[in-house]
Chains A and B, each alone.
Chain A
Amino acid sequence: MSEKVDCVVVGAGVIGLAIARSLAKKGREVIVLEAENDIGTGTSSRNSEVIHAGIYYQPGSLKAKLCVQGKEALYHYCEERGVEHKRLGKLIVASQDKDLATLEKLKRTAETNGIPDMVFLNGPEMKSLEPALAGVGALLSPSTGIVDSHGLMLAYQGEAEDLGMVIAFNSPFQSARSESNQFHIEVGGDTPLSLTANTLINSAGLGAQDIANNISGLKPNHIPKRYLLKGSYFSMTGKSPFTRLIYPVPPDASLGIHLTLDLGGQAKFGPDQEWIDSIDYTMNPSRADSFYASVRQYYPDLADGALEAAYSGIRPKIQAPGDPVADFMIEGPADHGIAGLVNLFGMESPGLTSSLAIGDYVCALLD
């Protein structure tokens, strides 16, 4: 016998919880299916915890739009809800003169994306802010910050539960079929059950493609291939030499080996890039070897042996190695033709920053 519910959201990561919150605020009855025994056990808890300004993204892209919208919403939400965060600011550093043109380009991109407050600093101005920094100039992003990602997820969860949302842990989604504008969903785990829902949101992060492949009627051209790009972080022993986030001028499609701070003020470097075939968070301490040269371009005083393995995360990519960075892929009924279904793929950075805006965007797709 099938239990009838209004909305099912698959995945209790930061984006799934934000979507559940948005749906619950609109008066919808929401059940979140989570395969693990806790919220945010995947990419949501293994990232830089940065609130991004929206500098890098292609103007007009979902990443640009949702990041800028989400950023201010996130700061406001964190202040309102007492979620720990800091608006530290970020410096994008040009190590050489040839990088200065890239900084100019980034500033123009940021302004096109609706970020007017980027400030160009010459070498001496940069060093007056961060004496330990080496370089010929930098772009200051005052609105970049850091957030307690777990605290944020708990806030989303608490608010949504107050509005009636329920999370079913240890409840992996198995399959769904659409019939008469309703989804018949099979759920596994220790106590398997069947659900009938009007709305199905696939926000399963690294598992989104597996979920989509088990929704009958969804055409394969609406399910992008999944690629896994692992990133390892190394923490720095001792006091952080910087008080802001430090990013090098992006060397390629990545943001480079950057320095972020946690809310306790400890510095960490990463993430690097390692294409992998299966989900594996095991850290290889020797990956730190490649960090030293990259980091010393902007922080030459990094001591040998100062880096210790911290954690790793995996980016859910939807572009192949070497291809241009893809945008968020968020498809609703108008895209794939299945009423009540929204799929989210490739929800990498700036997913955390954009989470509140993504929640509202998904609700709008269903209207």
Chain B
Amino acid sequence: MKLRQLFAVGVAVALSSSFALDAVAGVPDLEAWTFGATATRIENDSEWKTNVGAGMGFAADYVGSDDYTGQAMPVVDIEWRGAYFLSTQRGLGLNLVRRRQTKAGPRITWSAGRDSSDNTDLSGMADLKSSIEAGVFFQHFNGPWRLEGDLRYGLNGSGHHGIVGNASLALGGRLSEDSSLILGAATKFASASYMLANFGVTSSEATSGRAAYTPTAGFQEFAGFASIVYNVDQNIYLTIDGRGTLMMDQAANSPLVKASDQYFVGTTVGYRF
């Protein structure tokens, strides 16, 4: 069996197991965590551009937890004619604006929920269901700079049912012929509904160790991130990703937040074609 075929089988096996783990772990920040894996695209004339990979990351049990566990990170990103895409990172969407340096359009994304069983600090909290989100995104490249942003609205009332916006600015550069480094900063702003769903504590959930809490809208976090992408060859790549996040006032003051500084480190191996 050729190396590439063997690699594809290995990724398929990893993906199948990592999706199972993902369903258990409820990866909340997959798009941010696998920034390196989706930062570059293969240049070819094909109508289809595909990126498949799998990785593992070490992240907080839930946003605000001070307990960390390994989490699976699948990468499946398929784009057709530079227009339509289906991706574990980007969701289902359309590059309505598709210029060489700018892309923008609508997309549907999925936001992982949170189970009270995820961590003992969530004991007695109602489960937060996962949310289907409708939103818009944009990306703009200018030389080594990449500016990205999105706005999402939670559609299902059992999920967060709020509005959340992300923005990031990244700078990429070559470390060597086969590797590059990306450094960036990001922020997230959320509506009161989103904050309440993720960081609020109702009277029924309030206990001796967890007072009732009603957050308002605001900046949820500021983050810095770095990714190293190593191209094994034209198709196979390896990334190492890290992210440090500082949660802000309305989120950080929640009784659910045990550590307002959150960290992530992970690695991904993938195949682009």
Contacts and interface: CB of A to CB of B under 8 A. Distances in A.
Contact of A310 (B116, B123, B206): B206
A73 B5 CA distance: 65
Given A41-B124, A283-B203, A310 B209 contact: no
Interface stretch (A46-54, A90-98, A209-217, A357-365): A46-54
Given A148-B209, A283-B206, A311-B210, A45 B120 contact: no
Of A45, A48, A268, the most chain B CB neighbours within 10 A belong to: A45
A282 B203 CA distance: 5
Contacts of B124: 38, 41, 45
B208 A311 contact: yes
Contacts of B210: 311
Contacts of A45: 124, 207-209
Q: Chain B, interface size: which category?
A: 10 to 19
A15 B248 CA distance: 39
Contacts of B211: 233, 235, 268, 308-311
Contacts of A38: 116, 123-124
B204 interface: yes
B205 to A, nearest CB: 9
A154 interface: yes
Nearest to B201: A311
B42 interface: no
A275 interface: no
A46 B207 contact: yes
Interface in B108-160: 116, 120, 123-124
B57 to A, nearest CB: 28
A148 B212 CA distance: 18
B254 to A, nearest CB: 13
Interface string B199-243: 000011011111110000000000000000000000000000000
B209 A312 contact: no
A149 interface: yes
Given A41-B124, A45-B124, A149 B204 contact: no
Contact of A311 (B116, B120, B123, B206): B206
Contact of A48 (B120, B203, B208): B208
Contacts, number: 57
B212 A309 contact: yes
A41 B116 CA distance: 13
A305 B115 CA distance: 34
A272 to B, nearest CB: 15
B212 A283 contact: yes
Contacts of B209: 45, 49, 148-150, 262
Interface residues of A, number: 26
B208 A49 contact: yes
A233 B116 CA distance: 24
A281 B208 contact: no
B9 to A, nearest CB: 40
A210 to B, nearest CB: 20
A346 B212 CA distance: 27
Contacts of A148: 209
A281 B207 CA distance: 10
B206 A312 contact: yes
Nearest to B125: A38
Contact of B120 (A37, A154, A262): A154
Contacts of B207: 45-46, 150, 311
A268 B120 CA distance: 23
Contacts of A268: 211
Nearest to B117: A37
Nearest to B122: A38
Nearest to B120: A154
Nearest to A45: B207
Nearest to B210: A311
Contacts of B204: 281-282
A359 B206 CA distance: 27
Nearest to A263: B209
A218 B123 CA distance: 35
Contacts of B203: 281-283, 309, 311-312
Contacts of A312: 203, 206
Nearest to B208: A49
Nearest to A38: B123
Contacts of A39: 123
A322 to B, nearest CB: 28
Of B120, B124, B204, B210, the most chain A CB neighbours within 10 A belong to: B124
Interface of A: 37-39, 41, 45-49, 148-150, 154, 233, 235, 262, 268, 281-283, 308-313
6 contacts: A38-B123, A45-B209, A233-B211, A309-B211, A311-B207, A313-B208
Interface of B: 116, 120, 123-124, 203-204, 206-212
Given A45-B124, A262-B208, 18 more contacts: A37-B116, A38-B116, A41-B123, A41-B124, A45-B208, A46-B207, A46-B208, A150-B123, A150-B207, A282-B203, A283-B206, A310-B206, A310-B212, A311-B208, A311-B210, A311-B211, A312-B206, A313-B208
8 tightest A-B CB contacts, nearest first: A311-B206, A310-B211, A45-B207, A283-B203, A282-B203, A38-B123, A49-B208, A281-B204
